[in-house]
Structure 1
């Protein structure tokens, strides 16, 4: 039997014949024409697969998976002003969303208030909401049952301040903190590796992340303090196996930092969560999820001594690939998103965001975001794939690919360890160079026609795109700046000064910073003012050129 990668004489440009010389997935693994039991010799069904809900969780983190409870349908609910974002959140919940993700505008992401000169022209734009103060957070969450709806904050360097505002709103409403559900992205390591919206050097940034982890462990029992993100790594250009390896390495780094803080691993590890990207290679996505669960479970149990089975569970949120959306023939993105979403569900995700088909062109319209939501609901209720748990288990191809992803992942772990660990590898520019090389290779393959993107480098049509675009309110920024000015005038200036000094002292000391931040935001100290104090104490990070 020939198990070598299939070779052919080329492909027919007119007919779209799939025959080509090399078959490789996005990680660069050669794919055989046929897989048999010989490809999974050595796979131990008990040790390597197990049953769903049982160690090593390769087949899923829960016994009944979607037969017991569907994944959380989590869509983005943020745009422009906090009040408009609130309306959008309410509409999503009304349409059947069971969780919402809140993205912030660029000034908020970069720790700047709306009246900062560097924020001009960016306030409330790019599909994010502007959050300067506790008043904004109140308006954003008005009428949302925080003890029933899971809220995911897509925040990172500013996470400690956003968490303080969230806690302050809950306390003012009389909602017990232990009833709050949701996630703070709060993954600072991937900022240095890919997204680049860092403020401070890595080590003080890690201190802030650990402060939020410590606070949530003690007070927010149902809230995930960190969502360790591979999505941004993949969007920057990392291959799926690099996304897998780098994300897990970051996760293990947070575990080690938590243990250095004196926490037992089982006191906080059950609340760590992850964030993956579903790209276009259907089976590679599925293998990535399966390998991640197995590696996480085995490492947490064997290396870190976790005894609570909840610490072994790799719980993951997934988003379909924004970078795979094309501006050309944008309706094709509906099919791309559906395929990616299917792979995430078959891979065993715990929650899912489906992108709107027009996001390569603009902020999603109401029509496109509804279609994205309905895509998940049709998969959940009409496709039949939720009827049985892990239907792809035992597939020679899927299991062989899972093994290959796992093996290559450990090779990356060794490289990172040789560099002195994740933070040292960041400081040495390893991630920037590696991800940039992968991004270059991927784009070159498209431009050379080695990887087909329908409507971009094959089946191209010269046509005008007739898509309705959604734009931010052009008058919002002026109103927001004026409102912030009024807030500064009306607040207790002496209390503000006192709170800012307390934040500074907390930054200089070793005590948890969260109590000082919660007090400060309740006194209407703004996000930008708090971050300015942190910049003063911690300094700012400047990345060296990788090339």
Structure 2
């Protein structure tokens, strides 16, 4: 990184050794350090001090400039000077109308993009009247059974003017079909629709544990979604590869990025094998990472991720377009860091995590509500979460310089060290047979379980600190009586009555014929299932009916035992 000659670098190292022998040794003799070993959260050893000697071997081209390969310093040349990150708070609960009201409140408060959480039955491809859905309808997200519910969800919202993120995975292709068909019914230009689906099946099997089908059919559905959406809705990202959930179950920062990149490689290979060129679909791949507690590790994680991704696209897949190598990331602050004890501390936790995401160069962000350790955030909590982003953006002047920490001896050294560790994991995945095979074998699941266990041991020993919980504990403190978002007990009744009315007033013969067609197409690898799915949702087939039809063909997934 520096233009120091080897002789100059050696002189610097000699000066450092002299300083350690004299000034440092004298101070340590009087006042020892708190610990003998300092490390990042993911275990990378930390030196006491970093100098130019620590970055002397980093090639200048690995750091580069914003908007230029390998994009270490940011995906765009001007970053926030040209366009601020999107404030994209997630919402989703109850019936579609309830979530629609929350959308409009957050837009009025200053939100610049929408994000949707779905309830568990919707995620798992079940209708609200399915016996397996009992007690879960609308509880942790919005309930969607048919295209009519999507109409209600976005009522009064101009889909050509605001981007929409849909946090949906195993049933993502059906929700996408409903979204597209609903937009067509309104007369929207599909080429103007913007937004993102999560639609990341492999991370479901290793982390979030929401699935319908075996692994390979699920990857096939994603392949079909990417190919269809690239041509039909060119401004919608058909997938948001989600490292967030890998971290959520205990993965460290290296695993979060390395496993996500391994899944990226698997998906790209699948789409390319179907005959699509990398530069035709890679520009619409997007990513979703966590911003956790280790401030500098998280900043360097984002920088290393951009560098690794750019090199994968250029070197492994021979991408030519800059857009294909430019990693774009949505960030959410760490929900698992939030506490019920002294819950107002969550405001400060979230603010620092959000600042780390900005200094790391995110493109959009969700900041958690201070009450999310209790329930779905209230409107007041969401307002404070939005204000947190607005204060960072508008008050503290950190957006005026692109990559303001670039060039820091520590930041550049840690970025390169994290990159090296990520490549080691990717090399191991290749050697063992690739991401799809290792998901089926339970390899990723075991690695995440081991990492989580190590973290819990640190918490139990008090080495991983949570202020107000296991350090600086107020003996008189107890979980507060917090006003939480209420659950609408009539949610299930309304959704079930709507389903009954829908089935009584549609052409059921047409729906059955189309479902038979879909099952026949699913028995071959060549046919893209999206066109038939869109026909089905337009005929008012339900989410559960469509997902159940493919379950008859492919069966269901059984998770391997993890010891």
- Which interval holds the TM-score relative to the shorter structure? over 0.9
Corresponding residue to 1:501 among 510, 516, 520 = 516
Counterparts of 1:278-427 in structure 2 under 5 Å? 278-427=291-440
State the match for 1:94 in structure 2: 108
Structure 1: segments with no counterpart, 5+ residues: none
TM-superposed deviation, 1:41? 2.0
State the match for 2:53 in structure 1: 38
State the match for 1:542 in structure 2: 558
SS state at 1:533 partner: helix
State the match for 1:448 in structure 2: 461
State the match for 1:107 in structure 2: 121
CA distance in 2, matches of 1:18, 1:137: 58
Corresponding residue to 2:145 among 125, 132, 146 = 132
Q: 1:517 to 1:33 in 2, by over 3 A?
A: same
The answer to whether the Cα contact below 8 Å between 1:59 and 1:390 also exists between their aligned partners in 2 is yes
Corresponding residue to 1:480 among 492, 495, 498 = 495
SS state at 2:143 partner: coil
State the match for 1:269 in structure 2: 282
State the match for 1:141 in structure 2: 154
Deviations 1:229-267 (A, max 9, x none): 100000011001110101111112211111111111100
TM-superposed deviation, 1:20? 3.0
Q: Which moved more, 1:470-479 or 1:267-276?
A: 470-479
> In the alignment, does 2:34 pair up with 1:19?
yes
CA distance in 1, matches of 2:316, 2:532: 35
Deviations 1:392-413 (A, max 9, x none): 0000111111011000001101
SS state at 1:408 partner: helix
Deviations 1:439-494 (A, max 9, x none): 01001101101111111111122334132111211122122212211211121111
Q: 1:193 to 1:18 in 2, by over 3 A?
A: farther
CA distance in 2, matches of 1:303, 1:279: 30
Corresponding residue to 1:463 among 474, 477, 480 = 477
Structure 2: segments with no counterpart, 5+ residues: 1-15
Q: TM-score if structure 2 supplies the norm length? A: 0.93
Deviations 1:346-380 (A, max 9, x none): 00001001000110011101110100011001100
Q: Which moved more, 1:155-164 or 1:496-505?
A: 496-505
Corresponding residue to 1:524 among 540, 551, 556 = 540
The answer to whether the Cα contact below 8 Å between 1:77 and 1:92 also exists between their aligned partners in 2 is no
TM-superposed deviation, 1:334? 0.4
TM-superposed deviation, 1:506? 2.1
Corresponding residue to 2:205 among 192, 212, 215 = 192
TM-superposed deviation, 1:497? 1.2
Q: How many residues align?
A: 538
Superposition RMSD in Å = 1.7
The answer to whether the Cα contact below 8 Å between 1:151 and 1:183 also exists between their aligned partners in 2 is yes
> In the alignment, does 2:103 pair up with 1:82?
no
CA distance in 2, matches of 1:418, 1:57: 27
CA distance in 2, matches of 1:494, 1:199: 26
SS state at 2:398 partner: coil
The answer to whether the Cα contact below 8 Å between 1:82 and 1:139 also exists between their aligned partners in 2 is yes
CA distance in 2, matches of 1:425, 1:544: 11
User: Runs in 1 of length 4+ with deviation above 6 angstroms?
Assistant: 6-9
SS state at 2:62 partner: helix
SS state at 1:276 partner: strand
CA distance in 2, matches of 1:382, 1:502: 57
> In the alignment, does 2:80 pair up with 1:71?
no
State the match for 2:506 in structure 1: 491
CA distance in 2, matches of 1:80, 1:505: 35
The answer to whether the Cα contact below 8 Å between 1:316 and 1:349 also exists between their aligned partners in 2 is yes
CA distance in 2, matches of 1:132, 1:36: 58
Q: Which moved more, 1:296-305 or 1:221-230?
A: 296-305
CA distance in 2, matches of 1:463, 1:293: 43
CA distance in 2, matches of 1:20, 1:471: 46
CA distance in 2, matches of 1:302, 1:408: 18
TM-superposed deviation, 1:528? 0.5
State the match for 2:43 in structure 1: 28
State the match for 2:11 in structure 1: none
Corresponding residue to 2:172 among 159, 162, 176 = 159
State the match for 2:75 in structure 1: 61
TM-superposed deviation, 1:21? 3.7
Deviations 1:495-517 (A, max 9, x none): 12122112212212331101111
TM-superposed deviation, 1:18? 8.7
